Structure 1
Amino acid sequence: MEQRATAQCLSLLPKLSSLKEVKQIHAHMIKTALDQFPYEVSKVVEFTSLSVTPQSFAYARELFYRIQNPNLFLYNTMIRGCLINKRSEEATFLYIRMRGENLLPNNFTFPFVLRAFEDKLDLKGGKEVHGCILRTGLGSDLYVLTTLLNMYSVCGGSMKATTKVFEEMPLKDVVSWNCMVSGHVRHGSLELARTYFDHAPARSLVSWNSILSGYANSGRIEEAERLFMEMPKKDTASWNSLISGYLRIGDLNSAERLFDRMPARDVVSWTAMIDGYVKNGHYDRSLALFHQMQLAEIEPSEVTLLSVLTSCASLGALELGKWVHAYIKKIGFSIETNLGTALIDMYAKCGNMEKGLEVFFNLGTKKDVITWTAVISGLAINGKCREALEFFNRMVTEGIKPDRVTFLGVLCACAHAGFVKDGFHYFDSMNKDYLLVPRMEHYGCMVDLLGRAGLLEEAMEFVKAMPFEPDPVIWGSLFGACQMHKNLELGEQVMERLSKMDPWNKGNLVTLSNIYAATSRWDDVAKTRKKMKEKGTRRTPGCSSIEVNFHVHEFVSGDSSHLRSKETYEMLDLLAGRMKVAGCLPNDVLLLED
């Protein structure tokens, strides 16, 4: 009778679809005293621990830790469950506890434990497990050794230990050769990877894809193309690797052609293209492709959403950014550090800092230095400079150590608000309090701070006292300040340096001409304009964009290609007329007109 009840309970387990049903079976087992039998309980633990739902795994843990003297099967089951539920730390803890109870691991234990140390990138722990493998006489088990190979190739600083294990293996299968190929690719040794690939008695798709991704990611696109054409079989990962290779070198046309030819696309394919557009500055195309991805009913990953938010931030597409924020909540993504920071950055760059702060405060304790930096920089670019400095002090008080990027935001706030004294305080604090040596960009912020404040001589002395040779950006910042404050004498000195350092930068001639115009040196304006014509210099036309009904419209100065450009120019003329009536006149000297 008991055997029949046991069989009935256990036969139901694979058919169950929810934790509630599992609990009902478990309750029945308790009621009929079947929970006193280790085998029956172990099957319930096995079923719930191998589930990918957090609630089921939590139930398995609760059952497991109540069992006195769990056997090896239970330990193996829980360790495997930890890996499935991405709890590598607990998996290694269970292994150590099991060893402490004098249970001898078997060939099922070691692969799971090695994967746990691999996930943690814990080479020391992996080596200790290797020693235990040898002591337990499993040093010739193919499955164990293959997992050991992979652990060394992922965790090791070199492939030396991996190669030693491989050479000592009494038998090598396709997976072993794959480990050697992918390991050498991972460590950047493409020639060695190709050697193992060529000598493998049989090649799987994994090996082909490893070599292909190695060539593509290192910019060796011609070799990647040849390999792609040679492949006897291709999967989506193969197509994705070559697309990523094209995007890495900025060849968008080839990437698009390959993307269009793909027999099947996954979220990685769509994300690679969207991110490729973003990295190459084609933000409008990235958003258009994201829309197509939605129509194809492909659910985005966190990486996809990060790229889309970057595009919204760069285009100032606030309404679309808000929609993405709502969409993230709708599909159940947890807004933690990465997405939270991207949302803050998007709202800040779109001019809605209040919404950005709302996201920041909703993150609770899930804030790191990057999140704080996004808020500080966002407040600075939105003119809330005093608040930016207050947030910096608050961040330090909460024990978050600032980095160099944080100080760029702080110095930017000081520059925009004209806080010269505060600027020098924070600049000195970098090295003094946080052992952060200021870099070129920090010196650039200080030159900008002094220049905006009209302290041009002090800015020049600051540049001369720099511990390294100032770059054209530093001199360009000072040059811009000379234009702002109409300091012709210093402007000519700076121009002399810039013309030697960056002779092909035609924009410097434009700035010099503006300085001459601002000081009514019209003969010099004419001479400079003549030089500009000789060099073929033209002013870069201004460009702006506006979002209407989730569509971003871009306008370039002097361009009439937009469908509604006639109405746009009519409105501009109307606004210009009203500005004149209101007494707002253009700064004619900057128009470079005689």
Structure 2
Amino acid sequence: MHSFQIHSIASPSSANIPIPKSQSKITGDSSPHYSPRRREDPFSDALLSLRRCTATGSPKSGSCQHARVLKLGIETDIYIGNSLLNMYSKCGHLKDAHNLFDQMPHRTVVSWTSMMSAYLLAGDAAAAAVLFGRMLDLDDVRPNEYSLAAALQASASIGDADLIGAFHCYAVKFELVSDEFLQKCLIDAYAKSGMFEAAEKLLQKLSSRDVVAWTSVISGCVRRGYGERSLEFFCRMQEDGIFPNEVTMLAVLQACSEIRSRKIMLLILGFVLKGGLCKCDLVLNSLIGMYSKSGYFVEGMLAFSSFCFTNDGRYTSPETMANLVHGCAIFESGEIGKGIHGYVIKHGFLPCVVVENSLINMYVKIGEEYSAMVLFRTMLKRDVISWNTVISGFVKIGRPGDALRLFAELCRKNCNEKISPDFATVLASLEACSELALSPQGRVIHGYVVRTGLLGDVFIQNALIDMYAKSGKVDSAESIFAEMGKRDIGSWNSLVAAYGSNGRATCALKALFRLERSGGVEPDGVTFVNVLTACAHAGVVREGLAVFGSMEGRYGVKPSVEHYGCIVNLLGRAGRVEEAERFIRTMAVNPGPDVWGALLGACVVAGDVGIAERAAKELAILEPDGSAWRVAMANVYARVGRWAAAAEMRAAVAAEKKEGGWSSVEVGGKEMRFVAGDTKCTERVDAYEILSFLKNHMKDGSSIYYDHFSICC
């Protein structure tokens, strides 16, 4: 983020190596005064060749020059040695630089600084700091401002504030702190380590505060997550009369992305336009990314269309295009997304995995799964994110069977494409198994999780509990929960939901009390929704009302509309529809469609037309185009024999021409879909015969009293 980099620290001494006077007039072949009869000095020629290799970043040519130096026998010269060390350092050949450094008969401060720079360029800041400590133990070599600057950068990289302070003291003791370059390095190191007060003090003492010094402090604040403070320094920078450069604006735009203030973004946009900084591709990409990452999709698209269609060679990066496509997916702007798809094709962004993954996600979100699959199948290269995008996308749009088939295909292709399912793949696949209640496939995925070592993840374990619960395997869900080393609130909620969905209300209540005694984890709103739902399914009214009454006082959870809906469902299932209606009238919040829908559903069983009509009247206001409440109202009329009114409601539903609901069951590994009154199934006669048998069997056993509290957990 800064205009100075560590590889330039050694350059004042290593790149501009002084040449003896007798050799300083030697010129290269390109000089107009060159005479072919004049012999070149091997020493100067080697130095110039090494400098060219360093400038062009050619380690192969540099190695050839190294061999030439060895052949000439001048490798012991300190200038030659430092030039070779600098060349290997800048070319990223740390091992060669290290070997050369160990073999040097004499080392100057330039040698030590070049080696420290090599470690820093390789990302080993700790080794650079250790090397500086070794240099301090020497009597014949004293660090200068450039070696100290390298040590400061190493300390800032490892986040050692005490070490930075010690180096600062060293600079003061040996009168190096007056160097302006070193002062800026100190400011940068303090800012990167989060010591903003120290950085600010040095900044105020600086005789010439330029854009580099201010940018160091601003970038340090952004790096540590202090976006608002970075903007404060940015404003003070303006008061100091310093105009920002591209590096400054990159840091400020990142801070705006974290703060997400539309007003501040508008002000920063003014700085970008005023200074002509939008001509910089990096600033342009950050500007568009600032809007798209902050949720201001329209503003991001305006910035994109304003600057990227001028035919002046300015184009966004693939990551920026992926962010824009992602925004189209979030806001379901399919037409804009298709336009961006055309733009990336026209300007040669494809093939690009990042962009293609975002496009696949966008097409799935807008309901064009076919386009998503065409793009997925035509990708030249796919990564695990590509597979995760289509698998999770199909789960979210209600096609879990297709998601599991893709998961199986990914597992088969693992050997060829070297792509293995990861954490996100397993979560999406387990969710698909939960949707279809497919315990055999879920057990296979469970085995894969155990084999790959993903079982220790709490999210994977929670998903396994949910999958087994929805498949009716409560014992397996309990086993997963019991073996968990660490449980979060999601783990407890999954267990309570498992008990509730399988009619084990007493176990759900006991789990709530166990959660209360466990310590460290507090029940939340979801916990009580699951407990109240379990009580409603089991008909445990008294206990359910007691739990609802203790939510705010005992657990500090304020009831929401969803909790009120659970109580209405609880009372309605018990046939207490009048009490449920009175409860709705006294609610502390405005009842929503779910609350009135629960009451109307209870009226279907109770056959109370009056309450049902009042509930339907409320639903007609809240959901004028809804069909579910009309179907329920038609069932109420049919229950009491008002066939004309029921037919009228059914006709209103039929006029909307909405797609009917369907169910599915897996038989022999194949998903079978069917609708109510289905006549297309070849085995419909046998199916209806079995259904009739089950109905009669349930009627015969309806008089049997079943005590829910006798269930042993």
TM-score (norm 2): 0.62
Choose from 320, 324, 340 the match for 1:227.
340
Match of 1:453 among 550, 564, 574: 574
Instruction: Report what 1:32 is aligned to.
Output: none
Q: Distance in 1 between matches of 2:272 and 2:122?
A: 36
Partner of 2:70: none
1:275–1:307 contact (8 Å) kept in structure 2: yes
Partner residue of 1:342?
A: 463
Shift of residue 147 of structure 1? 5.0
CA shift, 1:311, in A, is 1.1
How many Å apart are 1:511 and its aligned residue? 4.0
The 5 A counterparts of 1:498-537 are 498=619, 505-508=626-629, 510-512=631-633, 514-515=635-636, 521-522=640-641, 524-525=642-643, 528-529=646-647, 532-533=650-651, 536=654
Change (3 A) 1:395 1:300: same
After superposition, give the CA deviation of every residue in 1:384-428 in whole Å (9 maximum; x if it has no partner): 222222322333341323332222112212322333333333333
Deviates more, 1:60-69 or 1:234-243: 60-69
Give, in angstroms, the shift of residue 230 of structure 1: 3.0
Picking from 159, 176, 192, the partner of 2:303 is 192
Partner of residue 257 from structure 1, selected from 350, 353, 374: 374
Match of 1:85 in 2: none
What letter corresponds to residue 401 of structure 1 in structure 2? E
1:364 to 481, 485, 508: 485
Answer yes or no: is the 8 Å Cα contact 2:391–2:425 preserved in 1: yes
CA distance in 1, matches of 2:397, 2:327: 22
Aligned equivalent of 1:351: 472
1:80-100 CA-partner distances (Å, limit 9, x unpaired): 5xxxxxxxxxx6x43576257
* Deviations 1:157-208, CA, capped at 9 Å, x for gaps: 3325754775697977422222122223323122234334457763243454
Residues 313/213 of structure 1: CA separation in 2 closer, same or farther (3 Å cut):
closer
Moved more, 527-536 or 277-286: 527-536
Output the CA distance in 1 between the equivalents of 2:162 and 2:499.
49
Match of 1:475 among 592, 596, 602: 596
Q: Matched residue of 1:546: which SS?
A: strand
Whichever residue aligns with residue 264 of structure 1, its letter is K
Q: Could you say which residue in structure 2 is the equivalent of 1:331?
A: 452
The whole-number CA distance in structure 2 between the counterparts of 1:267 and 1:67 is 46
Partner amino acid, structure 1, of 2:306? T
Q: What do residues 330-382 of structure 1 show as CA deviations (whole Å, max 9, x unaligned)?
A: 334364343332222222222223333333344423x3333322222222212
Cα distance in 1 for partners of 2:229, 2:304 equals: 26
SS in 1 for 2:666: strand
Match of 1:182 in 2: 289
Superposed displacement of residue 460, structure 1: 1.4
Matched, 1:302 2:423: yes
Shift of residue 464, structure 1, vs aligned partner: 1.6
Secondary structure at the counterpart of residue 407 of structure 1: helix
Within the candidate set 602, 605, 611, 1:484 is matched to 605
Work out whether residues 325 and 358 of structure 2, in 8 Å CA contact, stay in contact via their aligned partners in 1: yes
Q: Does structure 1 conserve the Cα–Cα contact (< 8 Å) formed by 2:500 and 2:533?
A: yes
Return 5+ residue gaps in structure 1 as ranges.
17-21, 30-36, 51-56, 81-90, 588-594
Code of the aligned partner of 2:512: F
Deviation of 1:446 (Å): 0.7
Q: Aligned equivalents of 1:453 and 1:162: distance in 2?
A: 61
Segment drifting more, 397-406 vs 273-282? 397-406
Point out the more displaced range, 494-503 or 60-69: 60-69
After superposition, what is the alpha-carbon deviation per residue over 1:33-68, rounded to whole angstroms, capped at 9, x for unaligned? xxxx98899799869965xxxxxx9x9899899999
Q: CA deviation at 1:444?
A: 0.8
**d(CA) in 2 for partners of 1:375, 1:68:** 61
- Report if aligned partners of 1:283, 1:315 keep a CA contact under 8 Å in 2: yes
CA contact (8 A) 1:306 1:339 kept: yes
Cα distance change on mapping 1:156 and 1:491 into 2, 3 Å: closer
Is the Cα–Cα contact under 8 Å of residues 156 and 190 in structure 2 kept in the other structure? no
**Secondary structure in 2 aligned to 1:203?**
coil
**Which secondary structure state, in structure 2, belongs to the residue aligned with residue 536 of structure 1?**
helix
Instruction: State the secondary structure of the residue aligned to 2:492.
Output: helix
2:494 is paired with a residue whose SS is helix
What TM-score does the superposition give when structure 1 sets the normalisation length?
0.73
Q: Identify which range, 293-302 or 107-116, moves more after superposition.
A: 107-116
After TM superposition, the structure 1 = structure 2 runs for residues 364-383 of structure 1, keeping only pairs within 5 Å, are 364-365=485-486, 367-383=487-503
The CA deviation string for residues 264-317 of structure 1, in whole angstroms up to 9 with x for no partner, is 333232222222212211111111222233333332343332222211111111
Secondary structure in 1 aligned to 2:160?
Answer: helix
8 Å contact from structure 1 (residues 347, 355) kept in 2: yes
5+ residue gaps, structure 2, are 1-75, 103-110, 137-146, 172-182, 194-217, 704-713
Given the alignment of the two structures, is residue 543 of structure 1 paired with residue 543 of structure 2, yes or no?
Answer: no
Greater shift in the superposed pair: 312-321 or 61-70: 61-70
| Aligned positions, number | 539
* Structure 2 counterpart of 1:205: 317
Query: Which deviations, in whole Å up to 9, do the C-alpha atoms of 1:413-452 show, x marking residues without a partner?
Result: 2322333333333333344355544322211101011112
Q: Which residue of 2 aligns with 1:422?
A: 543
The answer on 1:123 being equivalent to 2:227 is yes
For residues 176 and 516 of structure 1, what CA distance do their matches in structure 2 show?
A: 66
One-letter amino acid of the structure 1 residue matched with residue 643 of structure 2: V
Change (3 A) 1:78 1:248: farther
Indicate conservation of the 8 Å contact 1:315/1:552, yes or no: no
Distance change >3 Å, CA 500–CA 155, structure 1 → 2: closer
1:573 paired with 2:689, answer: yes
CA–CA separation in structure 1 for the residues paired with 2:449 and 2:228: 39
Output the amino acid matched with 2:365: R
Moved more, 117-126 or 461-470: 117-126
Aligned residues: CA RMSD: 4.9
Q: 1:98 aligns with which of 164, 171, 174?
A: 164
> Residues 555 and 431 (structure 1 numbering): CA distance in 2 closer, same or farther, change over 3 Å?
same
Q: Is the 8 A contact 1:247 1:276 kept in 2?
A: yes
- % identical equivalent positions: 24
Matched, 1:396 2:509: no
C-alpha distance in structure 2 between counterparts of 1:337 and 1:61, whole Å: 39
**2:356 aligns to what?**
239
Shift of 1:262: 3.2
Task: Tell me if structure 2 keeps the 8 A contact 1:415–1:452.
Answer: yes
Query: Quick check: 1:414–1:423 contact (8 Å CA) kept in 2?
Result: yes
* Residue 248 of structure 1, CA deviation: 2.5
Letter in 2 for 1:183: M
Q: How far apart, CA to CA, are the structure 2 residues paired with 1:331 and 1:181?
A: 40
For 1:458-482, what per-residue CA distance to the aligned partner results, in whole angstroms no more than 9, with x for missing partners? 1111012124443343223122223
- 1:546, 1:553 within 8 Å by CA — same for their partners in 2? yes
Q: Which moved more, 1:194-203 or 1:294-303?
A: 194-203
**Which residue of structure 1 lines up, in the alignment, with residue 72 of structure 2?**
none
Asked if structure 1 preserves the Cα contact closer than 8 Å seen for 2:307 and 2:314, the reply is no
The one-letter code sitting in structure 2 at the alignment partner of 1:94 is D
Check the 8 A contact 2:552/2:559 in 1, yes or no. yes
Q: Deviations over 1:482-501 (max 9, x none)?
A: 33234455445545555666
Instruction: Please name the residue that 1:292 is paired with.
Output: 409
| Greater gyration radius | 2
Matched, 1:267 2:380: no
Q: What amino acid maps onto 1:194 in structure 2?
A: S
Secondary structure of 1:443's counterpart equals: helix
Give the partner amino acid of 1:233.
G
What is the letter of the counterpart of residue 391 of structure 1?
Answer: A
1:129-182 deviation line (CA, Å, top 9, x unaligned): 879999xx999786x536524532432333257547756979774222221222
TM-superposed deviation, 1:255: 2.4
Which residue does 1:86 correspond to in 2?
none
